Amino acid sequence: MSAVAPRLIGQKQSLNTHKAALMLVMTGSDFTFEPIDVLNGAHKSADYEALNPFGRVPTLIAGDLILRQTTTILRHLAQQTGQYGWADDLESYDIENWFGFATDYLSAGLARLRFINRFLNGEPVAIKDHYRPNMLRGLDLLDRHLRDHEWLACGRPTIAEFVVHPMVFVWPDAEVEIADWPAIGPWLDRFQALPGWREPEAMLLEMMGAQA
Ligand X SMILES: N[C@@H](CCC(=O)N[C@@H](CS)C(=O)NCC(=O)O)C(=O)O
Q: Can you give the binding site for ligand X, defined by CB under 6 A? A: 14-16, 38, 43, 56-57, 69-70
Whole-angstrom CA distances from 39 to 12, 43, 188 are: 11, 9, 28
- Secondary structure letter of residue 171 according to DSSP: G
| Residue nearer to ligand X on the CB measure, 14 or 27 | 14
Nearest-approach distance from CB 107 to ligand X, in angstroms: 8
| Residue nearer to ligand X on the CB measure, 38 or 139 | 38
| Residue nearer to ligand X on the CB measure, 66 or 90 | 66
Nearest-approach distance from CB 56 to ligand X, in angstroms: 3
| Residue nearer to ligand X on the CB measure, 41 or 155 | 41
Nearest-approach distance from CB 160 to ligand X, in angstroms: 14
Nearest-approach distance from CB 150 to ligand X, in angstroms: 26
Helices (H) and strands (E) in the chain, counts: 9, 4
**Nearest to 12, CA basis, from 206, 197, 211, 194:** 206
Give 152's contacts (C-beta < 8 A, 6+ positions apart).
95, 98, 145, 146, 158, 160, 161, 164
